């Protein structure tokens, strides 16, 4: 897989700070957003690349891992190593055989009396003992597609195994596309007395018709009538957790963004925390005016000209 230079994608240096990365992302996202470039497939692909780069570089842990792994980052991502450090990657990279992904627990090898021989046997396929038994374990990966609402609240899926048994899989809130939910011991049965392998749920969150997701933040277009934009007022805003009232000040222009703190997606690692919801104002100009309305607008225009 070709190495993707995320810094080059966003047009920033490797020493760029968080603010510079966010500023570059927002500029490019506005330029290549599908709503701005309807039907333009190249702009759509560029928008996806920009979001992929920002998702990594805006997250301190992912950025550190990306900088550490370099050209191996895509291989690590493809093998489901979105979490953890280089040890997780090593467990999957060296432990992979054939088409089944194998996970070797380094802590298990060294933390429970394992030896260097066990480790080398597990990594490179020679020797016996626990390394041989470990190679018999093949984790199963199952794709699971969720709506944004399911990802927000958390959900369950009933999965039927090949032996006819049904597993009720609990998927926590805050997951995103690329997340892996591990069900320990629910994969292939072990051999020779070894434990069963794990079942991995590969999460894909479907696009939403209203919300656009950026990490744990959500973005929405806020349709504002001309009169409220001019005079101000309270406007209902739909969130994934109910309707809230947003106080819009008088003289609000199109393009202004309101930030609703804590109204975004829950953070997967800490469900008590949430991202924010950003509402982008789009002022709706009335198209059909009555004769009286037209006269009033004309009077307003005349007053403005006199001033």
54 three-class SS: helix
As a whole number of angstroms, the distance between CA 181 and CA 143 comes to 10
**Into which CATH architecture does domain 136-206 fall?**
Sandwich (2.60)
pLDDT of residue 97: 30
Q: Is residue 268 predicted with pLDDT exceeding 80?
A: yes
pLDDT band at 263 (very low <50, low <70, confident <90, very high): very high
pLDDT of residue 257: 95
Give the residue from 231, 220, 213, 223 showing the smallest Cα distance to 254. Answer: 223
pLDDT of residue 81: 52
Query: Left if phi > 0, otherwise alpha if psi is -120 to 50, otherwise beta: which for 270?
Result: beta
pLDDT of residue 109: 36
Q: Is residue 299 predicted with pLDDT exceeding 90?
A: no
pLDDT of residue 243: 93
As a whole number of angstroms, the distance between CA 197 and CA 178 comes to 21
pLDDT of residue 189: 75
For 104-108, 188-192, 211-215, 269-273, which range has the lowest pLDDT when averaged over its residues? Answer: 104-108
pLDDT of residue 15: 86
pLDDT of residue 75: 59
Q: What are phi and psi of 66, to 5 degrees?
A: -60, -45
* Positions of CATH 2.60.260.20 in the chain: 136-206, 212-306
As a whole number of angstroms, the distance between CA 248 and CA 35 comes to 24
**What's 17's DSSP letter?**
-
Task: Give the residue-averaged pLDDT of 165-180.
Answer: 90
Q: Which helix (H) or strand (E) holds 169?
A: strand 166-171
As a whole number of angstroms, the distance between CA 292 and CA 40 comes to 43
pLDDT of residue 82: 45
Average pLDDT, the chain: 78
Give the residue from 115, 107, 59 showing the smallest Cα distance to 82. Answer: 59
Q: What is the pLDDT of residues 62-101, one digit of tens each?
A: 887 777 766 566 655 655 554 444 444 444 443 333 333 3
Q: For the chain, how many residues are written?
A: 307
pLDDT of residue 99: 31
pLDDT of residue 277: 96
pLDDT band at 60 (very low <50, low <70, confident <90, very high): confident
Q: What is the pLDDT of residues 187-214, one digit of tens each?
A: 777 776 778 888 889 999 999 999 999 9
pLDDT of residue 119: 43
Q: Which residue has the higher pLDDT, 227 or 86?
A: 227
* Residue found by looking up tokens 């260097």 in the block: 116
Task: Give the residue-averaged pLDDT of 95-121.
Answer: 38
pLDDT band at 55 (very low <50, low <70, confident <90, very high): confident
301: CB partners within 8 A, 6+ apart: none
Task: Give the residue-averaged pLDDT of 258-285.
Answer: 92
pLDDT band at 112 (very low <50, low <70, confident <90, very high): very low
Entry pTM: 0.53
* Residue found by looking up tokens 């692909």 in the block: 45
What is the share, in percent, of the chain residues with pLDDT greater than 70? 75
Domain 212-306 has CATH 1.10.1240.10: no
As a whole number of angstroms, the distance between CA 186 and CA 164 comes to 13
pLDDT band at 239 (very low <50, low <70, confident <90, very high): very high
């Amino acid at each position: 897989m070709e190495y993707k230079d995320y810094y080059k994608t966003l047009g920033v240096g490797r020493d760029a700070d968080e603010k510079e990365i966010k500023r570059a992302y927002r500029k490019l996202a506005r330029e290549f957003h599908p709503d701005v470039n309807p039907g333009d497939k190249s702009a759509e692909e560029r928008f996806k690349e920009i979001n992929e780069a920002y998702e990594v570089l805006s997250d301190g842990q992912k950025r550190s891992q990306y900088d550490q792994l370099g050209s191996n980052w895509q291989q690590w991502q493809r093998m489901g190593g979105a979490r953890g450090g280089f040890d997780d990657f090593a467990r999957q990279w060296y432990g992979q055989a054939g088409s089944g992904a194998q996970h070797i627990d380094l802590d298990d090898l060294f933390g429970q009396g394992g030896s260097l021989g066990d480790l080398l046997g597990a990594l490179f396929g020679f020797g016996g003992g626990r390394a041989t038994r470990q190679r018999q374990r093949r984790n199963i990966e199952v794709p699971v597609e969720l709506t944004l609402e399911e990802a927000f609240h958390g959900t369950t899926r009933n999965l039927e195994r090949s032996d006819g048994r049904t597993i009720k899989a609990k998927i926590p809130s805050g997951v995103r596309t690329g997340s892996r939910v591990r069900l320990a011991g629910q994969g292939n049965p072990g051999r020779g007395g070894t434990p069963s392998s794990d079942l991995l749920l590969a999460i894909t969150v479907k696009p939403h018709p209203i919300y656009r997701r950026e990490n744990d933040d959500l973005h929405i277009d806020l349709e504002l009538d001309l009169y409220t934009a001019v005079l101000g007022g309270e406007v209902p805003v739909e969130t994934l957790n109910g309707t809230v009232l947003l106080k819009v000040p008088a003289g609000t222009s199109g393009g202004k963004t309101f930030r609703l703190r804590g109204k975004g997606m829950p953070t997967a690692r800490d469900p008590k925390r949430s991202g924010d919801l950003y509402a982008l104002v789009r002022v709706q100009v009335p198209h059909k005016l009555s004769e009286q309305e037209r006269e009033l607008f004309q009077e307003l225009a005349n007053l403005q000209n006199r001033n």
